[in-house]
């Protein structure tokens, strides 16, 4: 452990739209925020090539460039952005208490407020070809990337409500959507299944999985396999949308902060407040409904304002 303990007003754990927006607001409020980015600076958006739906980018941008812009803006107001991973937390249960944080298993920090913006990680199938083509036609967000496949054929993988929602959303944009379901039934609600079945340009293939994503630099198709007959079929598509869920990056806070059964942090009402005083959550770590860059940024603003008001009430 380090010999000296750093004392700060506002610690932001995790980057991305939520973290950087929180940093901008906290810095402008003279809270002198310190951000630890985590291992993936900029979060999930850095795996996205084109971003066309974030306000202010009239011609669009790419995820990495956008995160760089947000980082520069946060730093312009005095945020210290540091590359590092929070490895342990000891969060106070008392109003006005000090939250103790360990970074990279060595550096000790005492923070008056903590904003958690560690996000959630999309679940993928784990195929080499899939991983290689993320950003080249493989996506985990239809509302983020569906526009780029207007009038084209795409595949959606999944069986739950998310997969059904993504398939029906894409059906309004794309020529044809093929939904691959691993079992012989869908887990989605009956209402969502009815929507899928009533949509003419959605074809559902049961007992079917992706064996390989085809293409060198961009998606050209998928090789699907029937897991009963073992028969394979090549399906020509330009986009592959994986809709098998997300995992919130909340392991660090288990048995410390209130979370739902899947690990999303629970915030109070319309605020960013967690169950512990001085600890706030923003972005995908607490939002399993929308998961958009712009909603994450909005919740980052809320977290910084909540933290500022919390500190103000202590004076």
- Which residues are catalytically annotated? 141, 144-145
Return d(Cα 237, Cα 151) in angstroms, integer: 11
Cα–Cα distance list, 253 to 146, 209, 256, 278 (Å)? 33, 34, 5, 15
State how beta strands 221-226 and 107-116 pair: unpaired
- 21, 125 contact by CB (below 8 A): no
Bridge partners (DSSP) of residue 10 are: 113
223, β-bridge pairs: 212, 234
């Amino acid at each position: 452990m380090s010999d000296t303990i750093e004392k700060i007003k506002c610690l932001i754990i995790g980057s991305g739209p939520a973290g950087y927006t929180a940093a901008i607001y906290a810095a402008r409020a003279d809270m002198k925020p310190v951000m630890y980015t985590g291992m993936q600076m900029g979060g999930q958006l850095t795996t996205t090539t084109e971003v066309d739906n974030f306000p202010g980018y009239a011609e669009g941008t790419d995820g990495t460039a956008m995160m760089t812009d947000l980082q520069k803006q946060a730093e312009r107001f005095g945020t210290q952005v540091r590359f590092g991973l929070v490895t342990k937390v000891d969060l106070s249960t008392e109003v006005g208490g000090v939250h103790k944080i360990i970074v990279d298993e060595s550096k000790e920090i005492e923070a008056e407020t903590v904003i958690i913006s560690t996000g959630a990680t999309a679940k993928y199938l784990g195929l080499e070809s899939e991983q290689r083509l993320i950003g080249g036609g493989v996506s985990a967000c239809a509302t983020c990337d569906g526009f780029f496949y207007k009038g084209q054929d795409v595949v959606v993988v999944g069986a739950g409500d998310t997969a059904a929602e993504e398939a029906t959303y894409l059906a309004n944009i794309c020529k044809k959507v093929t939904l691959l379901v691993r079992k012989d039934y869908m887990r989605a609600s009956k209402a969502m299944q009815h929507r899928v079945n009533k949509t003419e340009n959605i074809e559902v293939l049961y007992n079917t999985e992706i064996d390989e994503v085809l293409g060198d630099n961009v998606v050209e198709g998928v090789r699907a396999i029937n897991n009963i007959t073992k028969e394979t079929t090549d399906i020509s598509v330009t986009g592959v949308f994986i809709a098998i869920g997300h995992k919130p990056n909340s392991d660090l806070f288990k048995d410390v902060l209130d979370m739902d059964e899947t690990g999303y942090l629970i915030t109070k009402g319309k605020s960013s407040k967690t169950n512990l005083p001085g600890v706030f959550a923003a972005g995908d770590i607490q939002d399993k409904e929308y998961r958009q860059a712009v909603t994450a940024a909005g919740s980052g603003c809320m977290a910084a304002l909540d933290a500022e008001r919390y500190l103000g009430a202590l004076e």
